[in-house]
Amino acid sequence: MKIFVLGGSSSIGLAIIQAYIRDGHEVVATYNTHKPTNAIGASWLKADLRGPLPNLQSVASGVAVALLLPGVVMGKTLGDYTDEMITEMVDVNFAGQVRVLREVAPVMSDDSQVIIMGSLSAQRGSADPIYGAMKGAMHALAKSLSKSLAPKTRVNVVAPGLVSDTRMYDATPEAIRESHLGVTPTDHFISAAQLAEIVADITKPHWSQLNGACIDLNGGQYVR
């Protein structure tokens, strides 16, 4: 199976790539600034969502699973955002991914899938309102495309809370991590490796009825 990973150089992206390679699949992935050296077996393509895109149709032809993973978090309040910051957030977290999907979707294989990396922030809000809004936009996009791209392509969202073993987790102040943990009934976070295994599993045939869904992986934060 051929897999396309947009934003594969992130901690979550690398974990997902390794899970697919371990299962014997072909992976084509993009990076923005630094080409990773620790995901042996993947083919890499530079793509900056803030500008012109490379020719994606040639590398994505016949793709069975397209994973959209990019997510920039600036941690700003609304008043702290500049026009330039807002533009970057929109380009990376929404508009650039839409442009990629517009190019990739027509050349994907029959019975293909798009998996969007969403977020708990899309449904409960975020201290960074622009980040939460862009994740919410991606969730809404998935709902619409799950109808218009079917039956050829199914579209779903995986929406974790805070994910351990990631650069974002490490950059999150301890007080904020503790506040997230305090409202998580399971009393622990999902790891990047665990998230990768879930993503790899839901693209297997026994999930063939999954379409237009959002799989929440936040330990039950909605409960409290």
pLDDT tens-digit map of 77-94: 999 999 999 999 999 999
Q: What is the CATH number of the domain that holds 91?
A: 3.40.50.720
pLDDT tens-digit map of 106-155: 999 999 999 999 998 888 888 899 999 999 999 999 999 999 999 999 99
Over residues 43-50, the mean pLDDT reads: 95
Over residues 173-177, the mean pLDDT reads: 79
Average pLDDT, the chain: 92
The verdict on residue 187 lying in a domain is: yes
The verdict on residue 172 lying in a domain is: yes
The verdict on residue 149 lying in a domain is: yes
Res. 99 pLDDT band, cuts 50 70 90: very high
Res. 197 pLDDT band, cuts 50 70 90: very high
Question: What's the pLDDT score for residue 184?
Answer: 80
The verdict on residue 208 lying in a domain is: yes
Over residues 14-38, the mean pLDDT reads: 92
Question: What's the pLDDT score for residue 19?
Answer: 96
Residue 165 burial by Cβ neighbours in a 10 Å radius (0-12, 13-18, 19+): middle
Please state whether beta strands 43-46 and 112-117 pair in parallel, antiparallel, or not at all (unpaired). unpaired
Question: What's the pLDDT score for residue 127?
Answer: 86
The verdict on residue 97 lying in a domain is: yes
Count the domains in the chain. 1
Question: What's the pLDDT score for residue 224?
Answer: 54
Res. 71 pLDDT band, cuts 50 70 90: confident
Which pair of tokens denotes residue 82? Answer: 């500049």
The verdict on residue 222 lying in a domain is: no
The verdict on residue 169 lying in a domain is: yes
DSSP per-residue string spanning 122-146: HHH--SSHHHHHHHHHHHHHHHHHH
DSSP per-residue string spanning 26-86: EEEEEESS---SSSTT-EEEE--TTS----HHHHHTT-SEEEE---------GGG--HHHH
The residue segments making up the domain with residue 9 are 2-217
| Cα–Cα distance for residue pair 199/202, rounded to 1 Å | 5
The verdict on residue 223 lying in a domain is: no
Question: What's the pLDDT score for residue 223?
Answer: 65
pTM reported for the whole predicted model: 0.92
